[in-house]
Structure 1
Amino acid sequence: MLAREKSLKDRLGNIGHLLTGNALTSLLGLVGFALTARALGPSEYGILALCFTYTSAVERLVNFQSWQPLIKFGAQSKNTETLNSLLKFGLLLDVSAAASGFVIAVALVWAVGPWLGISSEMAGLVTLYCALLPFQISGMPMAVLRLFGKFRSIAYGQVASSIFRIVLCAIGFAVGGTLYEFVLIWMAAQIVGSLTLVALSLAELQRQGMLASMLTASVRGITAHFPGLWKFAISTNLSLTLRSSANQLDTLLVGYLAGPTAAGLYHIAKRIGRMALQIGDQVQAVLYPDLARAWAASAIAEFHRAVAQMRALLLGCGIMLVGGAYLAIDPVLRLAVGSEFEAAGPLVVVQSIAVTMTLYGTVIRAALLSMGREDRVLSSVLVATIAFHAAALTLIPRVGPMGANLAHIVMAAIWLSMMAVSYRQALTKRQKTSLDVSSE
């Protein structure tokens, strides 16, 4: 009992560090976006938003998100040798995905750019922005820091990167920077942020005495040590790719169907309304390794208790987000980015409803992955994503960027309900199996 209480206390402490770091990062991020938006105005800011969105979308589409299989199977690893091989496997996936992402992104800009809302005038800037993709190596570094409980390093490393970005944006604002110069500023900030994460993870591996052995470890026979590794990695990557087609391509859809100015308004609204999703990501970062260990150890009561506690926490955060957005968004927008962006107010409120539903679902998603039910996660994402695109393509031409927000609510409702049913079924089956074994 004392061990469980300590585990919960440690979990809440780690979440506290991540939430503090996340809050600071989000606030600092808003300052950076505010300086950029004021310097560029809605039209040019919309072009920069399309650069953000396009590179992020390609990264999500090709990135294997190796931290998910690394944490699930790393939490079950019995010795340092197999863990080193697993981490080396993840690093190779990350490097391959980053290089492939750059090549694919550049090729797509020139091949199908107009279909993605990227005009010939924007193509050069977007191509330039793609140069940051080879540096986006985050899966293995994130897995290392989470497995070894270095959540403080994650949190405050992000804060340091955000401060660096604000300094660059402030300089750009002070000297009257152009769109081209702000593209370079945001590129530099993202590259430094990614390299900071890599440096922190390598420092932790060195502290654990694992760095040299990890770099020289062999990945041959990795699936013999970790059966189901490729299946899990591919399934989770597909589910994230499908989600990204909605969460990353939505701004591009708005830009294509409603124009760059509408895309800029939508991006501002999405940035504000979705700050809470980062809270969900940080809670999941702490919770996922604990759930993987608890499920592997058949500690079902502890597993379910942790899920219930975190769902309640995130639901409360979501409700506060909706209320805060409804009451305060108009003056916040006027103060932060100017009256030109006030039309984003209603978008933020509706976006926050979809965010609340998604927040609640992130815990169930982590639980299903820990249970080894990545197939249920994938099927729920597939159905929800199809519904999103159908709703977005129908609504955006009729009601503008608000249509994308309504489509996100449709997606979140379907995704959440399907995963909730799967979680209950899997938990009931495991509890019944445990009872049958104990009765024998």
Structure 2
Amino acid sequence: MSPGDIASRGRRRARGPLSPAGLVSRWQASKLLRPRLVSLFHLLSGSFGSALVMMGSIAIATHALGAQVFGVMVVVLSIGRTCERLLRFESWQPLIRFVAKAQQEQASPETLSRLYSYGLLLDFTGAFASAALAILVAWLLGPLFGLGEGHVGLVAIYACAILCNVRGASSAALRFCGRFRTLAYIQLVSSLLRLGCAAALLLAGAGLTAFLVLWTSAQILDSLLFNLVGMRTLARTGVPSPFTADRRGLMEQFPGFLRFAFSTNLSSTMRTLTHETDTLLVSAFAGPGPAGLYYLSRRIAKVAQSAGDMIQTVVYPDLARIWASVARPAMGRFVRVIQAIMGALALAALGLVWLVGEPVIARAFGAQFAPVWPMLLAQIVAVGAILHAAPARSAMLAMNRPGYVLATAILSTLVFFASALLLMPRFGAIGANFAHIAFGTVTVVALDIGIWRALRLAGTAPECEVAGADLTGPRER
């Protein structure tokens, strides 16, 4: 028997028998998967709860405004969100990677404060640039998307929410401290407030401007609460406030931070071009009314897609620690387990929409929104691909390969726009949903090839054990 066979048999014995009792024992002994899956459960339950409350607010808006005016509101929000995503830095991603490295090197609290301050500086710069760009785009290109001159002021109102949406540093602090329960449930506050106020506006017979002011105010409140909790969490770890940190020489002290931030921002920009500008593309082809129908299909599917974002929230800090501590045998199995969970979630969502989606949509949003159902079915298929790709994307970023992630995003985006331009003239708005399926397929294939090839080159076998890995970071109790 070869040494490799002996080692493999030893690992199987260490895991225990594959009986129910053995599986329970391995689950209870797990120091990596079990706490992270518990955190994931909190994030998913909180995210789903908030998403359902948000869908209630949207349902009220559709009944109050009708399909055409609701479509105008959707176009206004899409202009703001597109500009925000194009210029906003996802500073929590480089922060998590560089903070993990700094903690490995036992950096001082003052150094960590300066690092978080670097992220804050990028956040504020991106917020101001995004708000200005949104107003400029509405002024210059509004008619292309079906907006009139009076709608530029509505975009200016929503730009206030963009200015306040500075949360990268707070997000990194909450994720690194394991405050996943806080991340999950804090958004419920603003969502519940929006739902209650939307009902009041419906009873009062309010119009488009009132609903847009409500959406803006709710997002501002959510950002303020998020940053308040994030900064308090950071202070509890002994890190001085990033707002008072010395910002001189940040680029010299943290070389590579800005390059990593630009790379992840470009990758996020590619996703934005397919997940925000798609609504504007539909509006340019078919007008605000069909754009509202398409947006609703995307928004409902986002209830499931948010699971992918939650996956990155939970696993990215741990994957960064795995790679920084060279505990790499855990990464392959960790990614596969999460991918299996995401696959099951996608299949459950598709089955649910197939069985009850059509009558529920007609009852919740009105008969004029019935065409949303086939769009939603196609979008759920695309979301399934994105859910599968989310863990691999987080792993590639943790392995300091943002360039590969960016190249994948660029390729997928090109495929999306080529598919949309070919399919929309023939199939209408649902052609954009079909284009998302093409986008997701290319993303899955490219990221799966990248992650398993990288792990193989690093000498990591996907079947390596994670249950006994001692990689416990801070987490909320």
Same-fold status (TM-score > 0.5): yes
Distance 1:206 1:82 in 2: 14
1:154 matched to 2:183? yes
Give the share of equivalent positions with the same residue, in percent.
36
Moved more, 5-14 or 37-46: 5-14
1:9 matched to 2:37? no
Distance 1:287 1:333 in 2: 34
Task: Find 1:104's aligned residue among 133, 140, 150.
Answer: 133
The unaligned stretches of length 5 or more in structure 2 are 1-13, 15-25, 462-477
Are the equivalent residues in 2 in contact too, given 1:66–1:233 (CA < 8 A)? yes
Question: What are the Cα deviations for residues 125-165 of structure 1, in whole angstroms up to 9, with x where unaligned?
Answer: 22322222110112111111101111111111011121111
Task: Find 1:26's aligned residue among 48, 51, 55.
Answer: 51
1:321 matched to 2:346? no
Moved more, 349-358 or 95-104: 95-104
Could you tell me the TM-score, scaled by structure 2's length? Answer: 0.87
Which one-letter code corresponds to 1:18 in the other structure?
L
1:173 matched to 2:198? no
Task: Find 1:234's aligned residue among 262, 280, 287.
Answer: 262
Question: What are the Cα deviations for residues 292-351 of structure 1, in whole angstroms up to 9, with x where unaligned?
Answer: 000111112211121111111111111111111111111211221111111111000000
Give the aligned partner of residue 195 of structure 1.
Answer: 224
By how many angstroms is 1:32 displaced?
Answer: 0.6
Distance 1:209 1:426 in 2: 36
Could you tell me the TM-score, scaled by structure 1's length? Answer: 0.94
Are the equivalent residues in 2 in contact too, given 1:384–1:411 (CA < 8 A)? yes
Are the equivalent residues in 2 in contact too, given 1:258–1:397 (CA < 8 A)? no
Moved more, 297-306 or 4-13: 4-13
Which one-letter code corresponds to 1:5 in the other structure?
S
Distance 1:118 1:195 in 2: 30
Which one-letter code corresponds to 1:40 in the other structure?
L
Give the aligned partner of residue 64 of structure 1.
Answer: 89
Distance 1:323 1:402 in 2: 19
By how many angstroms is 1:290 displaced?
Answer: 0.2
Number of equivalences: 432
By how many angstroms is 1:225 displaced?
Answer: 4.4
Task: Find 2:78's aligned residue among 36, 50, 53.
Answer: 53
Which one-letter code corresponds to 1:174 in the other structure?
L
Give the aligned partner of residue 426 of structure 2.
Answer: 398
Which one-letter code corresponds to 2:290 in the other structure?
A
By how many angstroms is 1:211 displaced?
Answer: 3.9
Distance 1:116 1:219 in 2: 42
Question: What are the Cα deviations for residues 47-86 of structure 1, in whole angstroms up to 9, with x where unaligned?
Answer: 1111221111111000011011011111221322221111
Distance 2:376 2:201 in 1: 27
Which one-letter code corresponds to 1:87 in the other structure?
Y
Which one-letter code corresponds to 1:31 in the other structure?
G
Distance 1:10 1:345 in 2: 37
For residues 25-424 of structure 1, the aligned pairs below 5 Å read 25-77=50-102, 78-79=106-107, 80-212=109-241, 214-424=242-452
Distance 1:376 1:205 in 2: 31
SS at match of 1:364: helix
Distance 1:54 1:350 in 2: 24
By how many angstroms is 1:432 displaced?
Answer: 7.3
Which one-letter code corresponds to 1:330 in the other structure?
E
Q: Going by fraction, where is helix more abundant, 1 or 2?
A: 1
Moved more, 30-39 or 70-79: 70-79
SS at match of 1:361: helix
SS at match of 2:326: coil
Distance 2:134 2:296 in 1: 24
Which one-letter code corresponds to 1:195 in the other structure?
L
Which one-letter code corresponds to 1:381 in the other structure?
A
Distance 2:420 2:142 in 1: 20
Moved more, 96-105 or 224-233: 224-233
Give the aligned partner of residue 437 of structure 1.
Answer: none
SS at match of 1:275: helix
Are the equivalent residues in 2 in contact too, given 1:125–1:183 (CA < 8 A)? yes
Are the equivalent residues in 2 in contact too, given 1:258–1:396 (CA < 8 A)? no
SS at match of 1:431: coil
By how many angstroms is 1:116 displaced?
Answer: 4.3
Which one-letter code corresponds to 1:370 in the other structure?
A
Which one-letter code corresponds to 1:45 in the other structure?
F
Distance 2:31 2:232 in 1: 27
SS at match of 1:74: helix
Distance 1:128 1:228 in 2: 36
Distance 2:414 2:234 in 1: 41
Which one-letter code corresponds to 2:223 in the other structure?
S
By how many angstroms is 1:21 displaced?
Answer: 0.5
Which one-letter code corresponds to 2:114 in the other structure?
S
Are the equivalent residues in 2 in contact too, given 1:274–1:351 (CA < 8 A)? no
SS at match of 2:360: helix
Distance 1:158 1:377 in 2: 28
Q: Which has the larger radius of gyration?
A: 2
Are the equivalent residues in 2 in contact too, given 1:117–1:253 (CA < 8 A)? no
Question: What are the Cα deviations for residues 86-114 of structure 1, in whole angstroms up to 9, with x where unaligned?
Answer: 10100111111111111111112112223
Question: What are the Cα deviations for residues 150-204 of structure 1, in whole angstroms up to 9, with x where unaligned?
Answer: 1111111011121111111111111111111111111111111111111111221
Are the equivalent residues in 2 in contact too, given 1:202–1:211 (CA < 8 A)? no
Distance 2:352 2:101 in 1: 41
Change (3 A) 1:303 1:128: same
Which one-letter code corresponds to 2:83 in the other structure?
V
